[in-house]
Amino acid sequence: MSWYINAVFYELYLRAFNDSDGDGHGDFTGLRQKLDYLQWLGVDCIWLLPIYPSPLRDDGYDISSFFGIYPTFGFLEDFRMTVQEIHRRDMRIIADLVVNHTSDQHPWFIEARSNKNSPMRDFYVWSDNNERYKDARIIFLDTEVSNWAYDDRTEEFYWHRFYSSQPDLNYDNPGVRQEMINIIKFWMDMGIDGFRVDAVPYLFEREGTSCENLPETHNYLKEMRRFVDLNYPNSVLLGEANQWPSDLRPYFGDSDEFHMCFHFPVMPRLYMALAKGDRTPVVDILAETPEIPDNAQWATFLRNHDELTLEMVTEEDRQFMWDYYASDQRYRLNLGIRRRLAPLMGNDRRKIELLNSLLFTLPGAPVLYYGDEIGMGDDITQPDRNGVRTPMQWSGEANGGFSSAPVDRLYAPAINDPEYGYRSVNVAAQQGDPDSLLHTIRNMIQTRKRLPVLARARLQWLEDLPTNLLCFWRRDDDQTVLALHNLGGEAFTYTLPEGERFRDALDPDEAVGKTVTLPAYSYRWLQQVMD
């Protein structure tokens, strides 16, 4: 079985993680100092958000040089040392690869807009009018009014699917396609284990289409995969395609496109099921989820560095989610909610654990977001999605132990309110408390790794239970797990199948009788004892 199938991923924002030199920004040295923590936690693979030079108009997703490191993070050698240190601990690392666009400060774009005849002109998509590709939606609805931006120097419009400071690359140009392969080679040669590939559906544009998921785009992604398979076997390409299940399936191809894709549709439905105390949204979306190739895997997640996206739900469900989880309008952004997991759950420990339990027991490889393992909060005063990207809270010391810099030099202040602030929510305190959320999450990670059945085995629902119970079997030839979740506010007693014996996988000391009582918002992982 390929390593990523049963892996637990940890999404890490380097700027926010640990500042070793007191300049207010996290860095590679700081990360290396915290690798023991990540190893202790038990995660298998770190996903590093963009670490490249960037004017930071989109927090590093606007890249101004693909072959370097953002100055405050360290040097290329630092990157290489960090990769080695990660591997020495039997962990892996994947980096963000931004294929769709560059920053408008990238030398390619600077040259492209210097004059119309520049050889770099064709690296981007230009038009003398802003009428082309009208059927392509606008993604950053709150900030952009068009996918075209006017360049007064050359008096033409350029195409951009995200911020206007992020011109889209022109994949019809073979030079662009080759450059991206060179970029992949450069970083893979540094020893990383693959990429999380950013915003993949939008590489090509064709008139009369939505310009998403086009056959040309799939063909190029297959080319990328061929290159990686040939030169770097045993690595992973994880695609970010925020699409419906039927549009997602082609991104796995016939085992010749992505090894993994994020399961965007299931994510909001976990929250919806909990809010409604009704398993139906989750059951329905998993029924709609197509089979994927044997060596492929879904990446599942609860939260990430972006807003909790509600693009993959109906208008009605979106309204429900907004009303329920973001009644304060300030938490709404584009088609989503800019909050972290703990505040979304009203800091109710039972619900935080319950959603994590679903993440770890439903099919897919879980991706955790830094800070959610201790229940960090968010900062509504920060613009855009930055409120969910605040400094990691290591201890009760100044700046949560993240940095020794004065507060006004930090890239963003650490959260400091009574409920979620670093004095009450931090790693040190929770490491010392066996009953903490951190220990619970760690136990889930370790237990899950002992139960590879949870990664890929088929799922079978227990259908004749009240709708507030989300219960299912995961079974393969070696292991059987019965996962029980009570999404409702009242206790329920479940009678186990006659003649079968179970042990509590999360708490082996806890005896399992003939019935199991599930208090409100609780969960159990029962492993069948095979004779």
List residues with catalytic annotation.
Answer: 198, 240
Report angle CA 137, 247, 315 to the nearest 5 degrees: 50
- Closest residue to bound ligand GLC by CB: 61
Q: Cα–Cα distance between 28 and 7 in angstroms, integer?
A: 23
Indicate the residue among 212 and 240 with the shorter CB distance to ligand GLC: 240
> Residue 356 has which token pair?
């994590």
Beta carbons within 8 Å of 501's beta carbon, 6+ residues apart: 512, 528, 529, 531
Match 């056959």 to its residue by tokens.
215
**Contact in structure between 177 and 78 (CB atoms under 8 Å):** no
Contacts to ligand GLC by CB under 6 A:
58, 61, 98, 162, 198-199, 240, 305-306
**Contact in structure between 525 and 445 (CB atoms under 8 Å):** no
Indicate the residue among 166 and 430 with the shorter CB distance to ligand GLC: 166
Min separation Cβ 98 and ligand GLC, Å? 6
Min separation Cβ 337 and ligand GLC, Å? 15
Indicate the residue among 54 and 486 with the shorter CB distance to ligand GLC: 54
Provide the edge-to-edge strand list for the sheet that holds 523-528.
458-461, 469-475, 480-486, 523-528, 502-504
Other residues' Cβ atoms within 10 Å of the Cβ of residue 60: 24
Helix extents (H) in 214-340:
215-231, 245-248, 266-276, 280-288, 315-325
Phi, psi of 448, deg, nearest 5: -60, -40
Min separation Cβ 385 and ligand GLC, Å? 7
Indicate the residue among 162 and 521 with the shorter CB distance to ligand GLC: 162
Handedness of CA 501, 507, 513, 516 (dihedral sign): negative
Indicate the residue among 58 and 378 with the shorter CB distance to ligand GLC: 58
Indicate the residue among 199 and 484 with the shorter CB distance to ligand GLC: 199
Query: Where in 378-418 does DSSP place strands (E)?
Result: none
Min separation Cβ 305 and ligand GLC, Å? 6
Min separation Cβ 50 and ligand GLC, Å? 8
Min separation Cβ 11 and ligand GLC, Å? 10
List, in sequence order, every residue forming a beta bridge with 367; answer none if it has no partner.
Answer: 9, 301
